[in-house]
């Protein structure tokens, strides 16, 4: 009787151990399956949902592109005496426009770097005969890449009234083509050598979508102003300096050396150096 009871207890213990091992084996199998095939948890917000939410939050804010277009609208125009004036009373009247002719000869790149450091915009008016070599082409590219608008100053700096219409065409449109080959853009400003235009040159300039421009004053070709200090002094202290002054300078050693003092002197007199791209063009 006692032997039978002990045998029964032994069977029950062995059965319990066997069941425990079966449960453990089954659980291990489930864990392995989950490891090999993990269940994807839902994301709190997908990338598309985030973009949609952000768009909803900002729908009342002005778009960046619209803001850029608003800033880029012309604020100034040329007056009859070649000065720059505000189109309406929202723009600053006390501005000065810096222009450099006969680029890119020997000093234009240095002048562009000086202006860039001073955060002073300018137009560089180019002559085609300074674009004869790869080195000269590279100079033009550098000026353009520094962010300065490139203007047309004719191919050979000839007096336009002395040329035939065919020759004037080559001087103006031919140079636009050449500049576009180098920098990928056509000029939007034109200045005739010596300020001498013809009816035909004015027509070409209009057809090319350029703004015809002369100047209000300049001095750096005169003997008395061919040092850095002399040209800096006269450009800042000239009796012709007024609101909207259109300043004519050239690729000259003394002008390059005096350029920083000219810009600083104008700013100390309260003048803002005008961004040429804010001037109304055809």
Segment 13-68, tens digit of pLDDT: 344 444 444 434 444 443 444 444 443 333 444 444 444 444 444 344 433 333 32
Of 107, 129, 113, the C-alpha closest to 220 is 107
Q: Which is more confident, 246 or 4?
A: 246
Residue 22 lies in a domain: no
Least confident piece of the model among 67-71, 116-120, 141-145: 67-71
pLDDT class for 103, splitting at 50, 70, 90?
very high
- Name the residue range of residue 270's domain: 75-278
pLDDT class for 89, splitting at 50, 70, 90?
confident
Q: What is the mean pLDDT of the chain?
A: 83
Residue 210 lies in a domain: yes
pLDDT digits 0-9 by tens, 174-191: 999 999 999 999 999 999
Q: What is the CATH number of the domain that holds 265?
A: 3.20.20.370
pLDDT of residue 72: 62
Share of the chain above pLDDT 90, in %: 73
Residue 216 lies in a domain: yes
Helix (H, G, I), strand (E, B) or coil at 81: coil
Residue 27 lies in a domain: no
What gap in Å lies between CA 234 and CA 149, rounded to an integer? 25
Least confident piece of the model among 14-18, 70-74, 243-247, 276-280: 14-18
| Predicted confidence (pLDDT) at residue 139 exceeds the cutoff of 60 | yes
How would you label 222-232 residue by residue, b for 16+ Cβ within 10 Å and e otherwise? eeebeebebbb
pLDDT digits 0-9 by tens, 213-262: 999 999 999 999 999 999 999 999 999 999 999 999 999 999 999 999 99
Residue 63 lies in a domain: no
pLDDT of residue 133: 97
Torsion of the alpha carbons at 263, 265, 268 and 269, rounded to the nearest 10: -110
* 106 close to 136: Cβ distance less than 8 angstroms: no
Reading phi first (left if > 0) and then psi (alpha if -120 to 50, else beta), residue 178 is in alpha
| Predicted confidence (pLDDT) at residue 264 exceeds the cutoff of 80 | yes
- Structure-token pair, residue 48: 């598309």
Residue 49 lies in a domain: no
pLDDT of residue 99: 98
Residue 192 lies in a domain: yes
pLDDT of residue 8: 40
Question: For the chain, what is the domain count?
Answer: 1
Residue 60 lies in a domain: no
């Amino acid at each position: 009787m006692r032997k039978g009871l002990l045998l029964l207890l032994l069977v029950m213990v062995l059965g319990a151990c066997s069941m425990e091992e079966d449960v453990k084996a089954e659980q291990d199998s489930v864990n392995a399956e989950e490891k090999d095939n993990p269940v994807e948890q839902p994301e709190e917000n997908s990338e598309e949902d985030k973009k949609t939410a952000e768009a909803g939050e900002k729908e009342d804010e002005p778009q960046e592109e619209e803001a850029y277009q608003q800033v880029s609208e012309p604020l100034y125009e040329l007056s009859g005496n070649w000065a720059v004036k505000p189109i309406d009373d929202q723009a600053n009247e006390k501005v000065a426009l810096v222009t450099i002719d006969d680029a890119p000869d020997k000093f234009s790149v240095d002048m562009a770097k000086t202006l860039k450091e001073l955060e002073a915009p300018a137009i560089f008016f180019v002559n085609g005969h300074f674009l004869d070599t790869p080195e000269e082409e590279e100079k033009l590219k550098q000026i353009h890449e520094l962010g300065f608008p490139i203007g047309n100053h004719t191919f050979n700096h000839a007096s336009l009234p002395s040329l035939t219409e065919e020759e004037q065409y080559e001087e103006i449109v031919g140079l636009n083509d050449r500049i576009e080959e180098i920098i990928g853009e056509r000029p939007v400003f034109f200045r005739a050598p010596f300020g001498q235009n013809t009816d035909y040159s004015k027509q070409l300039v209009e057809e090319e979508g350029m703004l015809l421009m002369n100047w209000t004053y300049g001095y750096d070709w005169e003997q008395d102003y061919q040092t850095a200090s002399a040209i800096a002094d006269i450009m800042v202290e000239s009796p012709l300096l007024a609101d909207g002054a259109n300043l004519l300078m050239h690729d000259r050693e003394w002008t390059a050396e005096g350029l920083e003092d000219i810009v600083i002197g104008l700013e100390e007199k309260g003048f803002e150096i005008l961004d040429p791209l804010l001037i109304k063009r055809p």
